């Protein structure tokens, strides 16, 4: 029997980070196409926005299903399928001339594509392939890679729209999505023997055990708060800045700073996940979010205070991901990790939909965002408290180095 070549942890993490960067960068570029596409096709902005909102919901709904496929057949196969859906979905968006057709490609197909080739499947597979003492760093790198993709791909997409036009740029993005296929080759998992498979916990039993475990629900509702914060900020922070009488460029700069400092925060959280109790780390992150938002609401809104707030919020932005996935792995093992983390991630996406929608409702009814900011502060306190009883057990077993 031919031995399987061992792939270094460095190569595994590098390819996974690049794949996650491409996936997130391409996804975060779609907002740039709203103006040129609606103008040329005579669509409404709300119709375009609905398609992208549908994508977020489909991402949350299909994430556990894609996680289940990754747990059964390996992350490589699922990421390859997701890359093909990415390419097909973006190409369909580029060629669609009817808003309904665009909604199918942008909302439904791309929603599933983001689940299959997105960060949860990639990080879950990487976590299963790496030794336990390297998983926190890997999760931090994967999360930071997503922000790196935002800085790498989004400006290039904007440059493409300005030079060669939106349609040619989108077709080029469809081709770029196919680069995720060779990057996913290293995510191959060694085959399980029949003896081992017979002794493993089934997916149904694993899910039943998770649903009966309070820690699962604590993590689910904590991640709901994370999604609420993130979607509210990405959707409404530029508008909030505008209501404060500051230039539009300040709102754009605030979003850019959040992404930039998120790289630092994600990498730091990945390292701390390996050195500190993951439960206490999550409690601290959510508590600091609340303190930061409350302080921001009580100071004068100037360009300086907005940018300082954005930098600190960026550090806390996605730093919840490494300790959350580590706690899922420690509480429920790695065999069905993508499935169970996918369900926790569903809570994040439901919170994301709530944050984006509720922010608009509050603005329409009150004329400002104040109530939403204070709701975010209260949600931070809730998330910090709900993580206190989460179990943070010792590793179930130390994984062996991955074989390709």
**Which domains can be identified in the chain, with CATH numbers?**
9-184 (1.20.1250.20), 203-386 (1.20.1250.20)
HSE-up of residue 143 (Cα within 13 Å, Cβ side):
30
Q: What is the pTM of this model?
A: 0.70
CA distance linking residue 319 with residue 381, whole number of Å: 17
CA distance linking residue 61 with residue 68, whole number of Å: 12
Phi, psi of 57, deg, nearest 5: -65, -45
Per DSSP, the three-state class of 403 is: strand
Residue 246: which residues within 8 A CB-CB, separation 6 or more? 301, 302, 303, 306
Task: Evaluate whether 176 touches 19 at the Cβ level (below 8 Å).
Answer: no
Question: Residue 6's pLDDT is what?
Answer: 55
Q: What is the DSSP letter of 103?
A: H
The confidence band for 326, taking pLDDT boundaries of 50, 70 and 90, is confident
| pLDDT tens-digit map of 160-215 | 888 999 999 999 999 999 999 999 888 876 655 444 444 567 778 888 888 999 99
**What's the mean pLDDT when you consider all of the chain?**
83
Q: What is the DSSP letter of 320?
A: T
| pLDDT tens-digit map of 83-111 | 999 999 999 999 999 999 999 999 899 99
CA distance linking residue 264 with residue 141, whole number of Å: 10
Both tokens assigned to 45: 């902005």
HSE-up of residue 104 (Cα within 13 Å, Cβ side):
9
For Cα atoms 45, 49, 50, give the angle at the middle one, nearest 5 degrees. Answer: 120
Per-position DSSP letters for 121-155, written without gaps between them:
HHHHHHHHHS-GGGHHHHHHHHHHHHHHHHHHHHH
Task: Evaluate whether 117 touches 225 at the Cβ level (below 8 Å).
Answer: no
Nearest CA among 38, 202, 180 for reference residue 114: 180
């Amino acid at each position: 029997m031919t031995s399987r070549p061992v792939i270094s942890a460095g190569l595994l993490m590098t390819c996974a980070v690049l794949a996650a960067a491409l996936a997130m960068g391409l996804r975060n570029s779609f907002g740039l196409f709203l103006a040129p596409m609606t103008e040329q096709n005579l669509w409404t902005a709300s119709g375009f926005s609905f398609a992208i909102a549908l994508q977020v919901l489909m991402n949350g709904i299909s994430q556990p299903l894609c996680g289940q496929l990754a747990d059964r057949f390996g992350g490589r196969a699922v990421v390859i399928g997701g890359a093909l859906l990415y390419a097909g979905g973006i190409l369909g968006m580029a060629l669609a001339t009817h808003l309904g057709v665009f909604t199918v490609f942008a909302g439904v197909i791309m929603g599933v594509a983001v689940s299959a080739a997105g960060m949860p499947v990639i990080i879950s597979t990487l976590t299963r392939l790496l030794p336990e003492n390297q998983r926190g760093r890997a999760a931090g790198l994967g999360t930071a890679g997503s922000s790196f993709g935002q800085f790498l791909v989004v400006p290039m997409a904007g440059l493409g729209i300005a030079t060669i036009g939106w349609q040619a740029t989108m077709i080029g993005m469809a081709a770029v999505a196919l680069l995720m296929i060779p990057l996913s080759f290293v995510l191959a998992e060694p085959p399980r023997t029949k003896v081992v498979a017979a002794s493993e916990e089934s997916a149904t039993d694993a899910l039943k055990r998770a649903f009966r475990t309070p820690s699962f629900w604590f993590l689910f509702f904590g991640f709901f708060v994370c999604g609420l914060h993130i979607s509210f900020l990405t959707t409404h922070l530029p508008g909030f800045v505008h209501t404060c009488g500051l230039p539009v460029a300040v709102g754009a700069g605030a979003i850019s700073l959040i992404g930039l400092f998120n790289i630092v925060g994600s990498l730091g959280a990945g390292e701390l996940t390996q050195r500190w109790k993951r439960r206490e780390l999550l409690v601290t992150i959510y508590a600091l979010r609340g303190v930061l938002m409350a302080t921001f609401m009580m100071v004068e809104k100037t360009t300086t205070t907005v940018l300082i707030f954005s930098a600190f919020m960026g550090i806390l932005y996605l730093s919840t991901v490494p300790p959350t996935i580590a706690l899922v792995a420690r509480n429920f093992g790695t065999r069905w990790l993508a499935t169970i983390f996918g369900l926790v991630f569903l809570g994040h996406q439901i919170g994301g939909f709530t944050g984006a929608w509720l922010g608009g409702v509050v603005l329409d009814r009150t004329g400002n965002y104040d109530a939403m900011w204070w709701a975010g502060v209260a949600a931070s306190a809730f998330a910090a408290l709900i993580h206190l009883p989460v179990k943070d057990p010792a590793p179930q077993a130390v994984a062996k180095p991955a074989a390709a």
